[in-house]
A = this chain, B = another copy of it.
Amino acid sequence: MSNAPKNDRLLRVLRRESVDRTPVWLMRQAGRYLPEYRATRQRAGSFLAMAKNPYIACEVTLQPLARFPLDAAILFSDILTIPDAMGLELYFVDGEGPKFRHPVRDAASIAKLAVPDMETELRYVMDAVRLIRRELNDSVPLIGFSGSPWTLACYMVEGGGSKDFARIKTMALNDPAALHQLLSVNTDAVIAYLGAQRAAGAQVLQVFDTWGGVLSPEMYREFSLPYLTRIARELERGDDAQRTPLILFGKGNAPYLEELADSGAEGIGVDWLVELSEAARRTQGKVALQGNLDPAILYGSPEAIRRHVQRTLDSYATGNGTSREGHVFNLGHGMSPDMDPEHVAALVNAVHECSAR
């Protein structure tokens, strides 16, 4: 499992080594925009059935790599596997996003939560990681991932998606100790989960803080940032030369880039609401930066896509002393089902061509 992949651009950038061109992968690159994914899903029955079957998870993880010269694979799974394994019972209603049958809304239910056992309750994830690594055959690195403690807590308390996060913010105001308890057990679980994915063969690890950006700065610094930092500090990921890099992605994390750059993570993923030139200047080369094309650019023509890819690459370089090193190209958020695979091909090719050193 310790073999370096032939295409090691992503690992090299995250270890701050030089590369011949900027590596690129796309959040939700395995997904409904691909006809072969839709066919597999029809066969499997549901998203959750796909994610819980290691063979199917492996199959769809590899689908985009068969089409596009992407520089990494990312495990096909859900950000909410941990609370599901804690007993909250994840389910999906078409067009409504994820929900939990047993949300936690008071200190008593939170006190009962425990870190799941990774090789029994979350074995299907580890089996998928092992299988994908075998099938990848050291071609490109495999990225494992988890939701962030705060983002998991949002779904666990709200019971699903939310417009205003009224329930969890009420808990933050009226019973902050209970919320900290929840965030603490989530953090322990995320550390164990990412550690187990690494042991199973994941070569890069990413935390998705999808909902950190709904918090005021005061609340972000109390309820999200410290737990991200604890993950970055406590997650065992090997010695320098072989280190498994950690990327902290956060929607709306632009105000906190200086703090995130000091968290101990190797990479920070940013959304499209900040200029990469500014992000690079503010993080001063302490971390690699991943991002940050507005996913909606994929709705544009191949020419428009190429122009915006060039602009994103140049923006990073402008803030990084004219150097393209230290940049992982990605979208600022996940892809959507109605996007055109031909446009993804145009994007990947544009990144490779426009960033060649």
A126-177 residues with Cβ-Cβ distance < 8 A to B are 164-166, 169-170, 173-174
Question: How many chain A residues touch the partner (CB < 8 A)?
Answer: 32
B-chain residues with CB within 8 Å of residue A336 when the two chains form the complex = 164, 166
Give CA–CA (A295, B338) in the complex, Å: 34
Question: A316 to chain B: closest CB distance in Å?
Answer: 14
25 A-B pairs with CB atoms under 8 Å apart are A164-B295, A164-B336, A166-B299, A166-B336, A169-B296, A169-B297, A169-B299, A170-B296, A170-B300, A173-B297, A173-B299, A173-B300, A174-B300, A174-B304, A213-B273, A215-B273, A216-B294, A216-B332, A217-B274, A217-B275, A218-B311, A219-B294, A254-B255, A255-B273, A255-B274
| B residues less than 8 Å from A252 (CB atoms) | 273
Nearest to A220 among chain B residues (CB) is B273
As for how many copies of this chain the complex holds, the number is 2
Report chain B residues within 8 Å CB of A242: none
A221 CB to closest chain B CB (Å) equals 10
Contacts beyond the supplied A217-B275, A218-B311: 15 A-B pairs with Cβ under 8 Å: A165-B296, A166-B299, A166-B336, A166-B338, A169-B296, A170-B296, A173-B299, A173-B304, A174-B301, A215-B273, A216-B294, A218-B275, A252-B273, A255-B273, A255-B274
By a CB distance below 8 angstroms, the chain B residues around A47 are none
* A272, CB-defined interface residue at 8 Å: yes
- In the complex, the chain B residue whose C-beta lies closest to that of A307 is B173
Q: Which of A283-329 contact B (CB under 8 A)?
A: 294-297, 299-301, 304, 311
In the complex the two chains form, what is the Cα distance from A165 to B296 in whole Å? Answer: 8
Minimum distance in angstroms from A217 CB to a CB of chain B: 5
B216, A299: Cβ atoms under 8 Å? no
Among A169, A274, A301, residue most surrounded by chain B Cβ atoms (within 10 Å): A169
Q: Give Cα A212–Cα B324 distance, bound, in whole angstroms.
A: 30
